[in-house]
Chains A and B, each alone.
Chain A
């Protein structure tokens, strides 16, 4: 019986799709457009996030060492660094290497260095961390280690950068939430119009003694199909458009970090399909409920 009913509900949903083909197409196109806007925004914010992460990953701690450090002390210090949670990479820069770097940086002016008898530059460690927020805490920890002369991490710049990325991320999240909320409202209103066009049918069904679920099922299936088809359509358009767009951006700004792996984009596509289908189902369910009380 349930199976037979389900077949009936599906047939009814498909028939109604065919009966009001123009209306169904208009509905699908409208929902597709809205989901496209949401999708474009998500893609932009994902790439922006990658850019911010990239920016944050440039943050590093430089640990200057005392002059008279022995190899044993150096090894102890390296072990100490490794025992700290949150350190991604430790790079030792010897006095000689520091000197060479400086001389390279000075370029044509490197002759100035010949005026100095002894290499004045200290040996150092360059430390990259996993979580940018932890930079201050880790730096403070390192200050306490033996033979550490000075710890530098561009405190002010780091703070400014972290503040900036924090605000940017929060603002992006807020806009995304608002956009998703608006799209839910718009899609459910579009579906409400399609249900409104068939309110007579709902009223008649209710008057002949159909249970509310019997009335609702074909509409739920139709709402799901409208949402699903629209979201799949918008995902396909979005993916093609995206790869076309990043090609152009890459040519213009080659060093800009962009999400290029389609596997990374899969969750976005799935989220859009889920959003479209779910709003289609719920929108039609609630709209039918409104006309059922006759």
Chain B
């Protein structure tokens, strides 16, 4: 399989945070969600792909090329959305567009106008007067109007109302129809991924917990619920995270079949959501660097 994005043993060290030799791959034509609590390293990964910060070790391949050696080529084919929009507050949208568009050979003005209409943006409005949601829409219109093949988005759905979030997910599905484009987006709103994501990469404290097909994650993991007396059993060591209350417990397991064998009829086993997995795996999150 060919990969549009291939990250190998990527390492970045800050005083209070380390991205620990992260590796994952995204094939052409698919959507990957990058999930994890605040401070897990999601933004750091996206900044490293865009070569905005220096890595310590490892490699990042985009379109089969090294992301630093071929930075200009690669960036012209990436559409990105940052959590902090890189636009001039005092300029209107049209002026902001003009500043950025000149750098793209493939800039498609008609496509841009379509998005502006779809998103109901007012090109004469100054950037700073826009609501958070409208700012995000403008960023998206900019990111999608130069025929980019890889779309990187850092928390694109936060600050958007549910209606537009759904529309955005539809838009993502449409974008990958040609089998060439891929989308990597980080989010802590995991329900956005529950349906459309093909792959999910879960990162915690700078380390990959898993990077896999979403369907197989949701099929192999499970939430076990039962009475507290069961916690005495040796099998309880398989729990990847646990929440106890006075009358029972809930625990996360990464192997539902084994859990069924071990506990048989004494417990209820449910399908997890991505949020369940994130919640159970992150009992102690200290406000670390994002």
Are A and B co-members of a single complex?
Answer: no
